[in-house]
């Protein structure tokens, strides 16, 4: 195996969501106690959505949290397929967090411009505390797809073109930002992901395989 994986096996997708929510609460408490702030990057997807719903009534001090996004589709503001719309509905509109501490990707401006703007915003902080990540059926994470040029882009935030899933244009945290984070949690659920997960566990170099990450899986 290329990188030793720490995998927590969960009974089902709901268990993955609740377990990860507990980890977020703990990570927030530690970061706020140490540094007075917690920088959290959210993932898109069904299981993360359930996780966020569990976080609505958590003990997190949201006044000291900054929310970031792992990736975003290049769609109009308010489009139901955007990750920030899902995050709003599942979590952000239910918690007491200052609006200026929610850092949205301006993906409606296109991949290049929005990536540049977001990188300038992100580079102000030392690093993210926790990045939540899901995995696609092809082993992609955030919007880092196999054999895509974004994988080799060394910027903190990268433009994504020719994504194999629509829309083809996206913005994503790059490996540099993800790997620099204090903590990464991968959520893997859904039978369609089993093949890719098995391949990753066997050491295949798919985009999701990032060293020193925690894995929560129902597979």
> Structural domain tally of the chain?
1
What confidence tens digit (pLDDT) does each residue in 27-57 have? 999 999 999 999 999 999 999 999 999 999 9
Q: Which of 187, 214, 169 is nearest to 72 (CA)?
A: 169
What confidence tens digit (pLDDT) does each residue in 3-28 have? 568 899 999 999 999 999 999 999 99
What are the Cα distances from residue 213, in Å, to 119, 120, 131, 149, 182? Answer: 23, 26, 10, 23, 10
User: For residue 16, is the peptide bond before it cis, meaning its omega torsion is within 30 degrees of 0?
Assistant: no
Residue range(s) defining the domain that contains residue 31:
6-217
Q: How far apart are CA 187 and CA 123, in angstroms?
A: 26
> Is 157 contained in some domain?
yes
**Six token digits for residue 79:** 């489009």
> Is 1 contained in some domain?
no
pTM: 0.96
Q: What is the CATH number of the domain that holds 203?
A: 3.40.50.1360
Cα atoms in the 13 Å half-sphere on the side-chain side of 175:
16
């Amino acid at each position: 195996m290329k990188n030793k994986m720490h995998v927590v096996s969960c009974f089902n997708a709901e268990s993955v969501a609740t377990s990860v929510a507990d980890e977020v609460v703990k990570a927030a408490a530690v970061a706020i106690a140490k540094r007075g702030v917690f920088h959290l990057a959210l993932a898109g997807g069904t299981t993360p959505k359930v996780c966020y719903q569990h976080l609505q009534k958590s003990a997190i001090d949201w006044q000291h949290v900054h929310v970031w996004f792992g990736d975003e589709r290049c769609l109009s503001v308010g489009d139901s397929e955007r990750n920030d719309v899902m995050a709003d509905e599942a979590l952000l509109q239910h918690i007491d967090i200052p609006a200026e501490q929610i850092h949205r990707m301006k993906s409606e401006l296109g991949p290049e411009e929005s990536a540049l703007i977001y990188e300038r915003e992100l580079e102000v902080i030392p690093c993210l505390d926790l990045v939540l990540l899901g995995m696609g059926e092809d082993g992609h994470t955030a919007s880092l797809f196999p054999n895509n040029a974004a994988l080799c882009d060394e910027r903190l935030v990268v433009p994504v073109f020719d994504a194999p899933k629509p829309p083809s244009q996206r913005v994503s945290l790059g490996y540099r930002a993800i790997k620099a984070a204090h903590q990464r949690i991968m959520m893997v659920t859904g039978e369609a992901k089993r093949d890719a997960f098995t391949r990753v566990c066997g050491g295949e170099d798919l985009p999701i395989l990032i060293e020193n990450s925690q894995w929560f899986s129902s597979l």
